[in-house]
Amino acid sequence: MRYNLPLFPPQASTVAPQVDALYYFLVAVSAFFIVLIFSLVIYFATKYRRSAPRRAAAVPHDNPRLELLWTLVPLGLTMVMFSWGASLYFDLRQPPADALEIYVLGKQWMWILQHPSGKREINELHVPRGRPVKLTMTSEDVIHSFFIPAFRIKMDVVPGRYTTAWFEATQPGEYHLFCTEYCGTKHSEMIGRVVVMEPVHYQHWLDGSRASTTGSRSSLEVRGAALFEELRCATCHKATLPGVMLGPSLVGLFGRPVQLQNGETVIADEAYIRESILNPAAKLVAGYQPLMPTYRGQVSEEGLVQLISYIRSLGEANEMRAER
């Protein structure tokens, strides 16, 4: 109904109606107080105007009940805003476990989007309807920001680290994708579209694009495995002699807690693996020496994503074996 108003893009994700409801609540509260305050200002300005003198003695100096009222009512209202906003924020920050993983790379001035199958898109993102999609994002140069108004998601894309966002599209169609962080001359041209397809059509699209590029493309995992060989990671991370390994095993690593030299424990997520490749000494695994050289400058952001996918696949293979 509001689809033609640019202020109100379509609600095309599961969180969109919730975000809008909070937004309308904030607008309604603000509007109520604007009307109340301005009405009182005008009313009192008229009532106590200069031409109608009052006796100063009749002015009350304090009124505890009134003071309590204008303290407690705003407190209650702001606490509602806070708890509502916080719970929605936590929902928006935690992608469901079964989400489809998409890697997003921002650079001046385009979006590169990578599907787990290895399919790579530029300024276009095809996703299935009714399935959560998790975006793991980084930038090759400056700060960008990934914004899909119809899904009510926006997240900064920062060089040197991974940020995440997720959504679940509810309606097939095409939606705008914007960069919302000023990132240089062609910032305004750093736009794209998100195509939401029925799951069947999405599968066809994936299969079709795979068939049309036979041989030249492979999945992120396969390319990651090739890069893993090329960089000779296996020298330290795979046992050549039984029991002799210079670096920790990567099998079953992804998503698991890792005990560090300094006594801390971290979860081996995308950010941890990325950091360990670029700055190996930052989080040294307990029981190992700081022998690993940095791979900063040798692996591109896309290469990192491939390596992470490969390491992730080692973890998942292990999980499957464990379950059987």
Which stretches of the chain bind ligand CUA, using CB under 6 A? 106, 109, 144, 179, 181-183, 187, 190
Q: Report yes or no: 294 and 253 within 8 Å, Cβ to Cβ.
A: no
Q: Which is nearer to ligand CUA, 139 or 313 (CB)?
A: 139
- Residues 266, 269, 273: CA angle, nearest 5 degrees: 90
Residue 191: CB atoms within 10 Å = 15
CB of 105 to ligand CUA, least distance (A): 11
Q: Which is nearer to ligand CUA, 120 or 187 (CB)?
A: 187
CB of 182 to ligand CUA, least distance (A): 6
CB of 178 to ligand CUA, least distance (A): 8
* Residue 254, Cβ density class (10 Å: 0-12 exposed, 13-18 middle, ≥19 buried): buried
Q: Which is nearer to ligand CUA, 109 or 228 (CB)?
A: 109
* Residue 50, Cβ density class (10 Å: 0-12 exposed, 13-18 middle, ≥19 buried): exposed
Q: Which is nearer to ligand CUA, 139 or 309 (CB)?
A: 139
* Inter-helix orientation angle 16-47/64-93, to 10°: 160
Q: Which is nearer to ligand CUA, 183 or 307 (CB)?
A: 183
* Residue 138, Cβ density class (10 Å: 0-12 exposed, 13-18 middle, ≥19 buried): buried
Q: Which is nearer to ligand CUA, 191 or 245 (CB)?
A: 191
Q: What's the start-to-end Cα distance of the chain, in Å?
A: 51
**Between the CA of residue 166 and those of 7, 94, 98, 284, 313, what are the distances in Å?**
22, 8, 11, 30, 21
